[in-house]
Structures are given as structure tokens and as C-alpha cells.
Structure 1
Amino acid sequence: MLNTNATNFRKNMFSLLEQTVKYNQPVQITTKDGNAVMISEEDYNGLMETMYLNSVPGLVDEIKAAAAEPLEECVPENEVEW
């Protein structure tokens, strides 16, 4: 994560935005009143999706149980013919 203060953020805003968007590099902006973090829209959408999926009752437990199941024991419900 890049760190900068509000003054430097204003001076370098385009460059910092470009790094955030192109390379998903978060930027922490510090001020005397507190801090903020700038993230890409892609990262934001990923966080929102993760929060939503974690809010579905039992879904995390099902995913963990499925991940622990040996691949040999997995049986597809409907086989797909390509």
C-alpha cells in the first residue's frame, strides 16, 4: 500500500489514481483529522461481493466442507457433454 499525505495526494493525484486503477495498488491518504484509503473499483466490487457471500447463512461452512473433500470423492450431479 502506498502512503501519502493530503498535500502530496493533491499534487500527484493523476499518477496515484493511475497506479490504483492499473495495478490495484491501494493508497493510504493521511490527514490530521484521520486517514482514508483509495482502492480501485475492481477491488471495491470484490470486497462487496465477498461481504455479500459471507452474509449468506451457511455458505462459508459449505465452501470449507467442499474444499476439504477429496477430489476423488466428488461426483458431478449432471455430467456435461462437450
Structure 2
Amino acid sequence: MIIRKASNGIALEYGGTETSAIYDSDLGKKRMHDEELKLPKTMRDMLLMIAEDIKWDSEKLKEIEIVGYAHSGNKV
């Protein structure tokens, strides 16, 4: 799931989550792919899109927060 807000005709994304119905252990392939590879890459892309939208204003960049959650079964 991606959290986004439309502004000036541009959809800015500022949060996301990866979910899985089952927990496949701390070293499970799906968990590692979703939580340690896919989610951080998605969050980086969100940050870059927002930075471009604010024209890399350093004062505004200091206030930006990108949120990401990973859920697997009953683990958060």
C-alpha cells in the first residue's frame, strides 16, 4: 500500500507498507525481499520525488519524513 497526496496535479507519495499473510522466520526470503530491499528502495524513490517537487530546498528537506511499515503475519 502506498500513501499519497495529490498536489498541483502531481501525486506525491510519502509512506508505504509491505504486508504478508504469513511470517516465514527472520531469515525468510519473502520477508528479507520485502522488508530489507523492496520497502527501502520504494521509500528512497518517494524521498527523491518529494525533493524534486520542493526544488531541493535544504530547509524543507530537513522536515520531510517518509514512513514505512512491514507486516508479516502477526509480526510488525
Q: Same fold (TM over 0.5)?
A: no
Higher relative contact order (CA 8 A, sep 6+): 2
Larger proportion of strand? 2
When Rg is computed on C-alpha atoms for both structures, the one with the higher figure is: 1
Q: TM-score, normalised by structure 1?
A: 0.29
Q: TM-score, normalised by structure 2?
A: 0.30
